[in-house]
Amino acid sequence: MKQRGTRPLPKHTKRPSENAFQTAKPAQTKSQTKEQTMQNYLTPNFSFAPVVPDRALGSRVWDTEGREYIDLAGGIAVNALGHCHPALIAALNEQAHKLWHISNIYTTEPAQNLARRLVEHTFADKVFFCNSGAEANEAALKLARKHARDRFGEGKHQIVACTNAFHGRTLFTVSVGGQPKYSRDFAPLPAGIAHVPFNDPAALAEAVSGHTCAVIIEPVQGESGVLPATPEFLRAARELCDRFDAALIFDEVQTGMGRTGELFAYQHTGIAPDILTSAKALGSGFPLAAMLTTDRLAPAFAPGSHGTTFGGNPLACAVGCAAFDLINREDTRANTRRQGAALTAALEKLGRDTGIFQSVRGQGLLIGCVLAEPYAGKAASFTAAALKHGVMVLVAGANVIRLAPSLLLTDDDLSAALPRLEAAAREWLRTQ
């Protein structure tokens, strides 16, 4: 099949029946708003934006009305190589003609090829593939519990996590995550989980004991505000885990695969975990996740102890290999650092010029803009204003605007996005 290369895709001409939110039945009446129509068939746990993305290329997205947006969100820290990268399309197409799915009683070349890349470039010896960040963390926590039980018996099951952490939405991961608003309505919750304040080595030392099987940390807390862990906190976690035979788990679902300017964020510090989870950018848009671990812990996942139907499927792993090879390049790392610094400087200037931000923080191309005091709690309303002006951004909690654009962000993308962001900020400030 012919590739489109990097030329813009032709504008779609849609028949009404192709609209994703319509059916053959005349479900839409004139009195329904677009938003109501969009929520017709889906559960209401997402509150959708009032535009419908239709196609995308690089850092540009077009909606069904043909309006252009610059994607500084990277989907949601997922599209590390932008949208529709030709090398990923080629890998997906090639694999689509060979093998889509096969039982996990077989291994495949794409899965072995991607696992080899991950092992060769990290602390890890073994890889477990799955489909989402939550599943990778679920696997990490189950591995840590089982390893501790196999070696030390039932009493060693406690998991120590951080307040405001985010580890996914399964019942176990939402309980380990440190945001009760995401877990309390689903009680009773799994037991044996303690939380300590992030970046508080003394509190961590107090919580970790001989009963601890794992400490789980995000090297940069993503969802709750783009807060980097201090090297002292990570070092304390490593030492405590060594002293008490507990597994140190780094949740790099958001920070991993080049986002911070290294392949994984732990590589900035040299403090290695026993288990690392990766998802979001690993498939760069195709659902794919991995749990990495060492030869010391891996044997606890004996045959039959854990599993997945779709994990490691050939389509996902073929895309993952192509994404890995593009992300793990010196020029990609250099672009991430350069554009990260440029974007941070521009956002700091916007903050100074308009008073909208009190500070800008983060690492590489994972950037958080903390709203100034008068605008605290209003991050979501700013993202709506940015979208109106043609820029996609994210929130990280109620007070922080988060940017996680493509690692291949160009000077053109940046110089087109900045005036739109400034216009959005000025208009939004007038309405506050």
Give yes or no for residue 133 binding ligand PLP (CB under 6 A). yes
Least Å distance, CB 283 to ligand PLP, is 10
Pick from 71, 251, 274, 413 the residue near ligand PLP by CB under 6 A. Answer: 251
By CB under 6 A, is residue 132 in contact with ligand PLP? yes
The DSSP bridge partners found for residue 63 are 53
- Alpha-helical regions (H) of 208-270: 231-243
Closest residue (Cβ) to ligand PLP?
Answer: 133
Q: Is there binding between residue 78 and ligand PLP (CB under 6 A)?
A: no
Residues numbered 280-299 forming contacts with ligand PLP, rule: CB under 6 A: 280
Residue 133 annotated in ligand binding: yes
Q: Which one of the spans 131-139, 178-186, 386-394, 396-404 is the region binding ligand PLP (CB under 6 A)? A: 131-139
From CA 215, how far away is CA 283, in angstroms rounded?
Answer: 26
Stretch that binds ligand PLP, among 181-189, 246-254, 313-321, 392-400 (CB under 6 A): 246-254
Is 254 assigned a ligand-binding role in the annotation?
Answer: yes
- Binders of ligand PLP among residues 207 to 226 (CB under 6 A) are 218, 222-223
Cβ nearer to ligand PLP, comparing 252 with 413: 252
- Is 13 within any annotated ligand binding site? no
Nearer to ligand PLP, 249 or 350 (CB): 249
Residue from 124, 139, 253, 395 touching ligand PLP (CB under 6 A): that is 253
**Cβ proximity to ligand PLP, 71 vs 218, nearer residue:** 218
Q: List binders of ligand PLP among 166-195 (CB under 6 A).
A: 166-168
Burial of 64 (0-12, 13-18, 19+ CB in 10 A): middle
Chain contacts with ligand PLP (rule: CB under 6 A):
132-134, 137, 166-168, 218, 222-223, 251, 253-254, 279-280
Which amino acids are annotated as binding site, given as ranges?
133-134, 166, 169, 251-254, 308-309
